[in-house]
Amino acid sequence: MNTTTIGIIMHGITGRMGLRQHLIRSILAIRNEGGITLNNGDVIIPEPILVGRNLTKLEKIAKEHHIEKYMTDIDQALKLPNTPIFFDAANTKLRAEILKKAMSAGKHVYCEKPTAENYQDALELEKFAKAKGVKNGVVQDKLFLPGLLKLQRLINESFFGKIHSIKIDFGYWVHSGEFTAAQRPSWNYRQQDGGGIILDMLPHWHYVLENLLGEVKSVFCHGEIHIKDRWDENNEHYQTTAEDAAYVIANLSGDITAHISNSWATRVDRRDLVTFQIDGTDGSAIAGLTEAHCQSKLNTPKFVWDPDKKLTHNFSQDWIAVPDLEPVENGFKKQWIDFIKHVVEDSPFPWDFHSGAKGVQFAEMAIQSWKERKVIDLPQLESN
């Protein structure tokens, strides 16, 4: 058995998601647990190299987590030996350019979604990666959520019968920053900086729909700017120019309808910050991030609409919890392990730039639908 350390250049990890999920809960967790065991018994230990604009933040993170290398110069990082993987979780607007630079340096690339601001640029990334002969991957963490894994298990066991619909309800109240600091970065609400909930969230829902239920055929979308005044990280007032809510209906293969509500301007009164409800002829199930509950046709109550009577029925008691059958790994960490194995031993990794481009296309077609106020059919994307 051989143990090998490989460097992973990580760009954009000073943000909440990059720091918590990708660095601390994925790469550092893997390192602290002794690395990744390959099929031949060899062990790979990932060693992060931090790259970003703010040297002070990078230095603080590096000292807290015993990371040796950090810098602000991407070009310098790309020249470091034994650094086969480059990861990007920074601003979407610069992603395509940065990834091309990394691929030109011969790096295998892994990145957050969306892969680009528009799907032509996303398709170009796929073509560029193929020309450079580098492996590539896109974060699709929702697929590894315990709640969604339980829904997948119910689908595999034919619990639903003929599935006819799925409802995705996502969102929470993001403070404007006027009195309480916003919990999301201000660029999310500026269109000129690549913001907007459609480009941020619809690529997620595309891979969820496609992996769980089938191909997305068409989309109808309406977006809104509900909170028009916000305050940034320096407490400076600015006008919101990117939508903070989007309401979507999509048609999937197999005559399945998806209804998706996305909002950063809603207050939560449901099982979780996001819920996924699948309805079928033989049963229904609803899942959050970790839990799932189901109701079969045999224990479905018979309700009669009567607005003149006070409703006392407890709807939640009609649903049965789907049990945890085995421990579930953190989704970000699990996909990191799979990508590193993909690079080192060429194991399968289906979540590539082509998959990422399809998610960007879904978002772009939704924006077109909103602007044109009509249903848009999604053209089929051929792999480059």
Residue 92 confidence (pLDDT) above 90: no
| Whole-structure pTM value | 0.92
> Helix (H, G, I), strand (E, B), or coil: what is residue 309?
coil
Q: Which domains does the chain possess?
A: 3-141+331-351 (3.40.50.720), 143-328+363-370 (3.30.360.10)
Residue 93 confidence (pLDDT) above 90: no
| Mean pLDDT, rounded, for 65-70 | 96
pLDDT in the model for residue 334: 95
| Mean pLDDT, rounded, for 258-273 | 96
pLDDT in the model for residue 91: 82
CA distance 127 to 365: 21
CA distance 31 to 45: 6
| Mean pLDDT, rounded, for 61-73 | 96
pLDDT in the model for residue 318: 94
| Mean pLDDT, rounded, for 110-135 | 95
pLDDT in tens, 152-211: 999 999 999 999 999 999 999 999 999 999 999 999 999 999 899 999 999 999 999 999
Q: What is the mean pLDDT of the chain?
A: 95
pLDDT in the model for residue 382: 67
pLDDT in tens, 315-353: 999 999 999 998 888 999 999 999 999 999 999 999 999
pLDDT in the model for residue 152: 97
Q: How confident is the model at residue 221 (pLDDT cuts 50, 70, 90)?
A: very high
pLDDT in the model for residue 384: 58
Q: Which residues contact 36 (CB under 8 A, 6 or more apart)?
A: 30, 43, 44, 45, 46, 337, 340, 341
| Mean pLDDT, rounded, for 267-271 | 93
| Token pair of 256 as six digits | 């399945």
pLDDT in the model for residue 326: 86
In contact, 26 and 10? CB cutoff 8 Å: no
| Mean pLDDT, rounded, for 47-58 | 96
pLDDT in tens, 281-310: 999 999 999 999 999 999 999 988 888 988
| Token pair of 245 as six digits | 């809510």
Q: Which residues pair with 165 in a beta bridge?
A: 257, 279
Residue 34 confidence (pLDDT) above 90: yes
Residue 119 confidence (pLDDT) above 70: yes
What's the CA dihedral at 208, 213, 219, 224 to 10 degrees?
-40
In contact, 95 and 119? CB cutoff 8 Å: no
